[in-house]
Structure 1
């Protein structure tokens, strides 16, 4: 198929999603489910427009998945940044992203060793790949940028925003146990660098850059009417700076980008003396962007709103591209009888156990806890870590096993969670 025809098909897909998005929602079809089907059709099993072999094009898929996850993490950070850290809502995402995530890795490791017959290193690696929930595909349960958001949505968003970064040490541990990464004598390098520094350093670097850049831009706009506009560049530039600085420092780029979004949203207004707010009973919607962006009472909010609006559209494009890739990669899955019991065990039993233990004692309604147990959405973060591991030199047989387990898990998650999110969230809202 020619590039021109492929381009036309992509255009048809985008316009179809615009025109038929509401109808698809009524049919319980998420946009990701449609992208998955189209990707499979455009892959080797269909028209062969997308011909990515996970074993030979791991770097390309890894790069695309990483970009998609970074965009989504930055967006989640922006949305959650309106909630003060003193708010008790933060306890839930922290417990899910730390305690429940570690428990999930351990449970998957146990199932991998005793149920799938994997060596210990491969089982730990599988746990690191499949434990994190996904921020890219979780738009249906993501929180809004409110000071007092819904607790369920806030918890699930925070979990997805944090655990892509907190899963990194376990991916490195699995690779180390397989002899593909240096863990140091008695594991000191893993504890000191891959675990402690990667986590703390990523959060610190991202928060510092987000606060510094945001404050600088607001000051230039309100005091000198400079640096006005190009909020898209600000979004991409801060994302890239946070990720690059963290990676160069051997810290987690994922956590750095998430923290940068949090910090940018928290940049305070800098009102000048003898000035008044433009707000009225109807808000500030009637004022031009330039007036709001340079006004000392509104510059911060205008900046973060513009960055978030751009990032949300970018996130949708990233989701489109990556889910198309997932669909195109499905022909490389090799049938494995264990899939019939492994996927239900992961989604129902292991996820529930990890959530119930991780949130033990947390004051929460039974329905909220049940919803959290179910919405352990797996997605693009798992694809990234899979390709990351393949690129580190997994032997072909183990690589094929992990490709099969990961792609099938993500595909089933797209379908079952995509079909259930609308009716369940409507039920929850009632």
Structure 2
């Protein structure tokens, strides 16, 4: 064998090369997988697992070793996804038109958190605060990994009841799950110190957090809508065609929300909807959505590559038989049944209600909530909690990723829509 007199490549050069490959995959994979019973998250997890097994590759970032990185990186991915989700909703906001959303938020999610908390306290023998934290982490539908069941880009008319319901639910429940995370933290502090918590939790983490998040999001959305579409006269930002303004609105909204101690996730989604409503039919909405979608995919793929590596390096090792049973119940029983209960009586076809109930995808949001909770409260066995959430995300990615394409194509045909219309165009 010939030995080349070249030194081993610099790690920086390897990172640059890998980044180039990753960007190429971000561009190409969504189109390549369009008709296949396979999703982008599945490919990312598989790639991360495969890369981590290569010799001399140290792709290993554990949430246990880097808890703050896990929280902040997942936080970044979620807020970008929330902006994209809000921008692509064509349906104007109103209480009657959003009936499916309110049912999923007001009935399905609280029921799911309650059932999972009871299962965590009994089946898993967790303390009640830890059981509540786990339940709140697993309850929200993820805005990042649910892209395949969400509405299409702005003005594409891909907004049936299933896609709209799952998109709007994912956009709003990430903010509304936070009060339950804070409740778990408050209960954990109560167990440790005995201090009063109820009045503070209700006033600060429920009433103020939600109301202020909506107000901040609306104000920032109004401001950016005015600057983008209306003023200064003849110099509006929409004339630039630069979708980066959507990232600016995302960061300003989230930052101001966190400064006033409200729910930044909720503020970002409300900002996106308000910005879109400023000029609903303007083509610049497409530019803003395309840019946020590209950034979201790049960040999401990076995070999932790390998740695939973590799985190969023992993330799931602490699992017990009861933990696996808990995850199976959460995904196959709790979400579908609570979804059907929440949607009972909704003016939609039975197949649509079952699709809405089934595709409650768990993902990056669950990583963020668990990381946030563990960074703010003491728990005796964080490795086990990460293993449970990791298994839930992995099963959800595989189950929903393999079924979403055939299921949504079947629903499209059943309702007289051509699932291949865009590809043919």
* 1:52–1:328 contact (8 Å) kept in structure 2: yes
Show the counterpart of 2:335: 351
In 2: Cα distance, 1:304 partner to 1:27 partner: 29
In 2: Cα distance, 1:19 partner to 1:138 partner: 19
* 1:130–1:382 contact (8 Å) kept in structure 2: yes
In 2: Cα distance, 1:109 partner to 1:14 partner: 40
Show the counterpart of 1:327: 308
Question: Secondary structure of the equivalent of 2:240?
Answer: coil
In 1: Cα distance, 2:73 partner to 2:224 partner: 26
Show the counterpart of 1:274: none
Question: Secondary structure of the equivalent of 2:88?
Answer: helix
TM-score (norm 2): 0.87
* 1:94–1:158 contact (8 Å) kept in structure 2: no
Show the counterpart of 1:126: 134
User: Greater shift after overlay, 416-425 or 136-145?
Assistant: 136-145
Give the number of aligned pairs.
397
In 2: Cα distance, 1:62 partner to 1:47 partner: 28
In 1: Cα distance, 2:30 partner to 2:275 partner: 32
Is 1:307 the counterpart of 2:288? The answer is yes
361, 369, 373: which one aligns with 2:353? 369
Question: Secondary structure of the equivalent of 2:406?
Answer: helix
User: Greater shift after overlay, 384-393 or 24-33?
Assistant: 24-33
Question: Secondary structure of the equivalent of 2:215?
Answer: helix
User: Greater shift after overlay, 231-240 or 192-201?
Assistant: 231-240
Show the counterpart of 1:34: 43
In 2: Cα distance, 1:121 partner to 1:366 partner: 37
In 2: Cα distance, 1:381 partner to 1:117 partner: 24
User: Greater shift after overlay, 205-214 or 8-17?
Assistant: 8-17
* 2:38–2:405 contact (8 Å) kept in structure 1: no
364, 367, 391: which one aligns with 2:375? 391
Show the counterpart of 1:54: 63
Residue 224 of structure 1, CA deviation: 3.6
202, 211, 233: which one aligns with 1:200? 211
In 2: Cα distance, 1:210 partner to 1:59 partner: 29
* 2:87–2:289 contact (8 Å) kept in structure 1: yes
Residue 232 of structure 1, CA deviation: 3.4
Is 1:255 the counterpart of 2:229? The answer is no
In 2: Cα distance, 1:162 partner to 1:321 partner: 24
Residue 94 of structure 1, CA deviation: 1.8
147, 166, 169: which one aligns with 1:156? 166
Is 1:236 the counterpart of 2:247? The answer is yes
Residue 218 of structure 1, CA deviation: 2.3
TM-score (norm 1): 0.86
Cα deviation code 1:385-416 (max 9, x no counterpart): 11112222433x42112101111111111111
Cα deviation code 1:190-236 (max 9, x no counterpart): 11111121112111110111012211332335x24354426333111
* 2:48–2:307 contact (8 Å) kept in structure 1: yes
In 2: Cα distance, 1:338 partner to 1:206 partner: 41
In 1: Cα distance, 2:14 partner to 2:372 partner: 32
In 1: Cα distance, 2:194 partner to 2:230 partner: 45
Query: What are the ranges of 5 or more consecutive residues in structure 2 without an aligned counterpart?
Result: 1-9, 414-425
> Do the aligned partners of residues 164 and 192 (structure 1) sit closer, same or farther apart at CA in structure 2, a change above 3 Å counting?
same
Cα deviation code 1:351-397 (max 9, x no counterpart): 122112212221221101111121010000000111112222433x4
Residue 305 of structure 1, CA deviation: 2.5
Is 1:78 the counterpart of 2:62? The answer is no
Show the counterpart of 1:139: 147
Query: What are the ranges of 5 or more consecutive residues in structure 1 without an aligned counterpart?
Result: 270-299
Is 1:379 the counterpart of 2:345? The answer is no
In 1: Cα distance, 2:33 partner to 2:230 partner: 45
Show the counterpart of 1:174: 184
* 2:319–2:388 contact (8 Å) kept in structure 1: no
In 2: Cα distance, 1:237 partner to 1:162 partner: 20
Q: Aligned-pair RMSD on alpha carbons?
A: 2.4
In 2: Cα distance, 1:47 partner to 1:337 partner: 34
In 2: Cα distance, 1:400 partner to 1:417 partner: 25
Residue 8 of structure 1, CA deviation: 2.3
In 1: Cα distance, 2:285 partner to 2:321 partner: 49
Residue 182 of structure 1, CA deviation: 9.5
Residue 40 of structure 1, CA deviation: 2.2
> Do the aligned partners of residues 258 and 18 (structure 1) sit closer, same or farther apart at CA in structure 2, a change above 3 Å counting?
closer
Cα deviation code 1:269-303 (max 9, x no counterpart): 8xxxxxxxxxxxxxxxxxxxxxxxxxxxxxx7143
* 1:173–1:183 contact (8 Å) kept in structure 2: no
* 1:40–1:46 contact (8 Å) kept in structure 2: no
User: Greater shift after overlay, 325-334 or 157-166?
Assistant: 325-334
Question: Secondary structure of the equivalent of 1:338?
Answer: helix
Residue 48 of structure 1, CA deviation: 4.2
Q: How does 1:83-98 map to 2 (within 5 A)?
A: 83-86=91-94, 88-98=96-106
> Do the aligned partners of residues 30 and 226 (structure 1) sit closer, same or farther apart at CA in structure 2, a change above 3 Å counting?
closer
* 2:74–2:367 contact (8 Å) kept in structure 1: yes
Q: Where in structure 1 do 4 or more consecutive aligned residues deviate above 6 Å?
A: 180-184
* 1:98–1:166 contact (8 Å) kept in structure 2: no
